[in-house]
Structure 1
Amino acid sequence: MMIVVLFFIIILIVHREQQNRDEEYERIRNYVPDIIIPSMDLVLNLTETRRSVKWDLVIRIPSDLPGYYTCLKGSFQTFILYQGVNIANSSLSYNLIPNWPQLLNTSSVAFEGDMDSVVVKDIMEDIKERRDMRFGTQLLFPDCRSGRTMNYTCDETALRFEPGSQRKAATFEKTSPVCHYIRP
């Protein structure tokens, strides 16, 4: 009887260990590193005839992304979102070094004609009323594992206009927005 109980306990322990190994394997298999945007700047160009907005982004690529997840050479796209609406995008070719964290710089420009007039009006009201605005960012990288695209959605970024300026804004929060991989 004691041998049967001991045998049963051993089977339970082995089964639990196998479950832990399976869970750890799934966690590792599903892991994709986050990307950080350490810097985002905005410059408004307001003239009598047209308005445009230029974003400059610095994107920090973690050391474990190039080579395995993202191709070492390729191009990626950035999208700037205001209140959930895509108002600017850009593409950039890159060359990454494997196992090395890197910074990518990109710019996006949106002209008033490219944006919905309601969005332009909302942006201008935010500038006048609050002196800051919140933008979202989406990144698309080529996925070397599948040949498809890796879709990242980033935390919202708050941009505040410099004192005395209604044309130039930069991030002001202490933490940089983190971009999280969205599984297909």
Structure 2
Amino acid sequence: MAYGELAPKSTLCARLTPQQKKIVKRCLVFFSISIIIAGTIVFACFYIRRMREEQHFIENYAPDIIIPSMDFTVLNLTETSLSVKWDLVIRIPPDLPGYYTCLKGSFQTFILYQGVTIANSSLSYNLIPNWPQLLNTSSIASEGDMDSVVVKGIMEDIKETRDMRFGTRLLLPDCRSGRTMNYTCDETALRFESGSQKKAATFENNSPICHYNHP
């Protein structure tokens, strides 16, 4: 049995008039352009936000500083007088000089006992960019620099406890803003040498880390 040719299926596009086809074409072009514009706006917003986050991170970040060692020396100790000295080695990380802190300048070191500043010193330095460096600084204090409670506490540590802890703060010039970079360090644990009341040194394995305080 022979069959006649099947009639072609009618499509929506085929049923449209030329004017309607033009309208549909314009709508498709407009829709495509809208998609491209929307995608561009989303990408631009994402990129700007990412750049702002990176800028904020850079402005509020600075590498940590480490204190590899601290030595404590009793210069003079009597029932009524006290004079002591701190010798610190400060490790400047390679990514700090040049961008964050100035290559040349001076920094200040503050020694704290139970949260109270009892000594400070200033040291001029000359750093090499992208290179880790060690800086040595010393601070001296006597009973005239400390209140009676602090003096009594340090004397008891020297004579009885033989262990003591000192905090440290560092101030370095900030080349990004022209202000100062303020670092607060973990406490350093010191212990007197056996049979001595004159010299104490770091005895815990972990070196204190100095963290940058965001302004």
Residue of structure 1 aligned with 2:119, choices 88, 94, 101: 88
CA RMSD of aligned residues (A): 2.4
2:159 counterpart residue number: 128
3-state SS of 1:153 partner = strand
1:26 counterpart residue number: 56
3-state SS of 2:57 partner = helix
More strand by share: 1
Residue of structure 2 aligned with 1:168, choices 188, 192, 199: 199
Deviation, structure 1 residue 129: 3.0
Higher relative contact order (CA 8 A, sep 6+): 1
3-state SS of 1:156 partner = strand
Deviation, structure 1 residue 21: 5.9
1:130–1:91 CA distance, 2 compared to 1 (3 A): same
Structure 2 letter corresponding to 1:169? A
Q: Percentage identity across aligned positions? A: 76
More helix by share: 2
Whether the 8 Å CA contact 2:62–2:100 is kept in 1: the answer is yes
3-state SS of 1:65 partner = coil
1:17–1:146 CA distance, 2 compared to 1 (3 A): closer
Q: Trace 1:132-147 onto structure 2 (pairs within 5 A).
A: 132-147=163-178
1:112 aligns with 2:176: no
Structure 2 gaps, min length 5: 1-37
Structure number with greater Rg is 2
1:15–1:171 CA distance, 2 compared to 1 (3 A): same
Deviation, structure 1 residue 143: 0.7
Cα distance in 1, alignment partners of residues 44 and 103 from structure 2: 41
Structure 2 letter corresponding to 1:36? I
1:16–1:70 CA distance, 2 compared to 1 (3 A): closer
Structure 2 letter corresponding to 1:101? P
More deviation in 14-23 or 81-90? 14-23
2:186 counterpart residue number: 155
Q: Provide the aligned length of Structure 1 versus Structure 2.
A: 183
More deviation in 18-27 or 132-141? 18-27
Deviation, structure 1 residue 20: 5.6
3-state SS of 2:131 partner = coil
3-state SS of 2:149 partner = helix
Flag as ranges the 4+ runs of structure 1 deviating above 6 A: 11-18
Structure 1 gaps, min length 5: 1-7
